[in-house]
Chain A
Amino acid sequence: MSATPIAAQPPVWRRLIGFNMLTGLVLGIGGWFLGAWIGGQVAVGHPYLQGTDQNDVGIYMGYLFGVIGWLVGLGFANYPIGRLLGRPPTLRHHETGSWTRYFRLCTDHKVVGIQYLFGVGIFFFIGGLNAMLMRTELLRPVEQAWPASQYLTLVSLHGTMMIMMTSAFILGPFGNYFVPIMIGARRMAFPRIEALTFWLVPAAGLILLSAIAFGGIATGWTGYAPLADEGRAGMDAYVMSFILIAISLTLVGINLMATILTMRAPGMSWTRLPIFVWSVLATSILQALAAPVLVAAMLMVLMDRAANTSFFVASVGGSQYLYENLFWFFGHPEVYILALPGFGIVLEMLPVFARKPLWGYRLAVAGMLGVTLLSFMVWQHHLFVSGMNAGLRPFYMLTTELISIPTGFIFLNAIGTLWRARIRFTVPMLFALAFFFNFLIGGLSGVFLSDVPSDVTTHGSYFVMAHFHYTIVGGLVFAFFGAVYYWLPKMLGFELNETLGKIHFWLFFVFFNLTFFPLFAAGFLDMPRRVSTYAPSLQTLNIFVSASAYVIGLSMLIFIANLIWSLVFVRQPAAENPWASRGLEWQVPTPVPIENFDRIPVITSGPYEYGVPNAPPVADFAPGALPAAGR
């Protein structure tokens, strides 16, 4: 779209009217009040909905109509209504050059990727702030910084926000931005659904944060059922936001799977697919299949709270085991949704900075698919001491230990790729290597947890906390930052400051380990999770951990400072291919054209042919044999 001369542009306030984020916010708030009113009308006089101490129906209807208003305001209703009325609406929305397209429904997958980057990034930092506040409470072994209810809300918000947001940490920004380019496509299979998956995220985040105003959340991110049923109104915010995120996850999974299956360029055979795209495919399978189970579980909690059903209430025929089983049937694939993209990112980066082909490509693919399959079969290891059928414990111990075999393949790939390599220690490579160090510790600590006798001490203790922070933060978050430093020059077109990047890395890496390694000891020394009071003998350890955690926060501030410094002040344009990568995404210009490619390229070799003499280029960008207006 060519720039309109300034004189001919309507005034600012006129330009704000339209289907955009502001309209979405206004209609969302209006919808919230409307829904709450409707809910009140519905509940009055209806015997099944009375008898609770708050009008959960009103709360849920309020959130539901709020979300509908938000989506309508953004313009998501235009296409469905247009189709119903028989008017063919446009399929491209705001794929222009204007900066305002980041605040609207935009069907350009690159815009969605950048929206995700900042959207989940903001919630990641809010979650991190919650962690800093939690560690402040734990400086002393008695309640001192926050009242008990606020502390539990902080714990729950930190966990829920991090899990919800980091589920899309890599697939959101980098999956959306780069998968089409990496497979040689111009767009994704369902661009409008892709935009929808993003705009559900701020809605879910805002609803979750609203729990603070409604009594907080007392269950932690797992929302265990009998406690969740009796929670205050903030619990409804948790249920609603988790439902929205699960819907977003399902749709992302469907979209990415369809895109990778159907829209690969000619010549992009399965053996030439970048390993990152394989990891996205594996993750999408998990998302499309596991997230619907979470929606069902959350809807059951919703019904228990709003309509007095008895899914999880033992005294009326329900069972809390139903909740645990449903939640963890989702929950365990969920943590592999978090881990697999991390694997993909680091295996994608290692060949570039080791200047060698990815060693054992097929083994890596087998590992990822093996993890995908096995992750559906391990969930009851979260229930080892719960009174589950004790005869099943050996089976789940076996499957949980088996899943470490395909996970180990990833390490063999790294070992092989580094063998006799020519390693360059750039900032992305530092994060990738730190991933392996952290995930090694995290993964091996999981073996302790998988052994039932050992789990008797460690279940529900800080040992579990340390295990999953090592795998999720040490794994996924490190991979995320590696991907940011690796791909931001292509996404935003500017270089990031390398010195600040290295300071960020070293502070983060060292103090991350200093924060979480002692927590293994804390768990071994009888400290349960989610408490604000603990044995006084553990105070020194906790002070040390809190101090290290503050430094992690400081390292994040340095990262933000790097972003602002590089993107706002220095604005040094990045080279088209600063890392000399053979990846297809690095062969397109910066900034990436709206259609990605003038013509759909024909792929002529794999992306990891470093050191191969006379290796053909990765793709032919002007395939003469195909018609100009072809695919």
Chain B
Amino acid sequence: MTTIAGERIPRHGIRILAIWLVLTAISVPLIVWVLGPHLPPPHMTVESGDQRNANIVMTALLFPIALLVLTYFIYSFVFFRETSDGIVDGPPIKGHAGAQLLWIVLTSTIVLALAVWGSYTLLAGAHGAGGGQGPDPAAKPPGWQNALPVQVIGQQWEWTFRYPTYGGIETRDLAIPDNTLVAFHVTSIDVTHSFWAYQLGVKADAVAGVDNIAYVHTRHTGFFQIRCAELCGLWHGHMSKKGRVLASSAFQSWIAAAQKKNASIVKYLPKYSRVYYPAPLRRAG
């Protein structure tokens, strides 16, 4: 920094950068290796694993940015405060073209890199395949043509699941097999709901008249929590239940038992349809 009137001005910039570098060097490894495994969603499927990695990358990138701004502010509160009782003006610095340019270049680079990385992982890597993509998905994981279709029907205030490849059986409990690519076809028969399977890394809005497809490739057996993530009326908070990822053989026996149990009802159900409608409004006149 320049000297004014023979007085040496401390090199604030270097100090701030040094403090920031030390803090970043400590925090980023902590984020990646200590916090990272605990970031959501829990790693139960390929998609949830990918989403968790996305969260780790972003936290590791954004936390140092926040640290830099915070370090600067706290430093300035300590070193740039007015200590006398009066009102003393500071140096009349109105801007600095170099600093502005550097900031613009840095922020634009980070943002564009994030956007490119995000789009690439979303489409090519199908990391966003757990998010509902409508009837014409763009991010399709490999093997999507042979995915096991499971239909999720939302209504006020319950979830129903149909398995079209198993004769269209209808259950209120969701079970899916391990190590399988599952395609959820989410729809609604009244207002808008949202099918959120937390540990699976799946969230797809249930919209009347729309077949909203979300993919998930299971990796571990266990329970997962299902909730509704779109306000749908009085008992929105009650639309929660547990689903299960079963080992393949256990799934087969579960399906067989469900088919037997529901056989008498299934024959009266309407033919399997990707979307359902409530009764049309009564036409006036």
B-contacting residues of A (Cβ < 8 Å)?
47-48, 50-51, 148-149, 152, 218-220, 222, 224-227, 230, 308, 310, 313-316, 319-321, 354-363, 384-391, 393-394, 397-398, 401-402, 404-405, 408-409, 411-412, 415-416, 418-425, 433, 436-437, 440-441, 444, 447-448, 450-457, 459-461, 524-526, 528-535, 580, 608-613
* Cα-based distance from A420 to B91 in the complex (angstroms): 7
A51-B282, A361-B94, A390-B134 are known contacts. Are A412 and B103 too (CB-CB below 8 A)? yes
Contact A387 B115 (CB under 8 A): no
CA distance A220 to B80 in the complex (A): 45
- What's the count of A-B pairs with C-beta under 8 Å? 310
Residue of A nearest to B99 (CB): A416
A580–B233 touching, CB < 8 Å: no
B89 interfacial by beta-carbon distance below 8 Å: yes
Measured between beta carbons, the chain A residues less than 8 angstroms from B12 are 419-420
28 A–B contacts from the bound complex (CB under 8 Å): A218-B234, A226-B191, A315-B208, A315-B279, A315-B280, A315-B281, A316-B280, A355-B82, A357-B92, A358-B94, A360-B100, A385-B131, A385-B203, A386-B134, A387-B133, A393-B133, A401-B111, A402-B111, A405-B107, A418-B73, A424-B82, A424-B87, A444-B65, A447-B58, A452-B128, A453-B131, A456-B128, A460-B203
Measured CB to CB, the nearest residue on chain B to A357 is: B94
CA separation between A402 and B110, bound complex, in Å? 10
- Is the pair A453, B54 in contact by a Cβ cutoff of 8 Å? yes
Assign chain B's interface to a size class. Answer: 35 or more
Closest Cβ of chain A: how far from B262's Cβ, in Å? 27
- In Å, the complex CA distance between A444 and B65 comes to 9
Known: A355-B88, A457-B51. A385 touches B80 (CB 8 A): no
**Of all chain A residues, which has the CB nearest B80?**
A421
Take A387-B204, A402-B115 as given contacts and tell me if A219 and B231 are in contact as well, using a CB distance cutoff of 8 Å: yes
| Known A398-B115, A415-B72, A424-B82; contact A526-B91, beta-carbon cutoff 8 A | no
CB atoms of B134 and A356 under 8 A apart: no
A197 to B111, CA, bound (A): 39
Asked whether, in the complex, the Cβ of A612 is within 8 Å of the Cβ of B92, the reply is yes
> Of all chain A residues, which has the CB nearest B39?
A524
A77 to chain B, nearest CB (A): 36
Which of B18-26, B117-125, B171-179, B253-261 touches A? B117-125
B155-169, CB under 8 A of A: which get 1 and which 0?
Answer: 000000000000000
Q: Are B107 and A533 in contact (CB under 8 A)?
A: no
B82 touches A423 (CB 8 A): yes
Q: Identify which of B51, B137, B228 contacts A456 (C-beta below 8 A).
A: B51
Tell me how far the C-beta of A254 lies from the nearest C-beta in chain B, rounded to whole angstroms: 33
Chain B contacts to A: CB under 8 angstroms: 9, 12, 39-41, 47, 50-51, 54-55, 58, 62, 65-66, 69-70, 72-73, 76-77, 80-82, 87-96, 99-100, 103-104, 107-108, 111-112, 114-115, 118-119, 121-123, 127-128, 130-139, 186, 190-192, 194, 196, 198, 201-205, 207-212, 214, 225, 227-238, 240, 277-282, 284-285
The 3 closest A-B pairs by CB, nearest first: A314-B209, A531-B237, A460-B229
Q: How far is the CA of A457 from the CA of B131 in the complex (A)?
A: 9
Q: Which of A418, A447, A457, A609: most chain B Cβ within 10 A?
A: A457
Among residues of B, the one whose C-beta sits closest to the C-beta of A310 is B281
A323: nearest residue on chain B (CB-CB)?
B192
Contact of B121 among A386, A423, A453 (CB under 8 A): A453
Chain B residue with minimal CB distance to A610? B89
Partner of B93, one of A419, A460, A526: A419
A423 touches B76 (CB 8 A): yes
Q: Which of A226, A454, A580 contacts B192 (CB 8 A)?
A: A226
In the complex, A437→B71 CA distance in Å?
A: 11
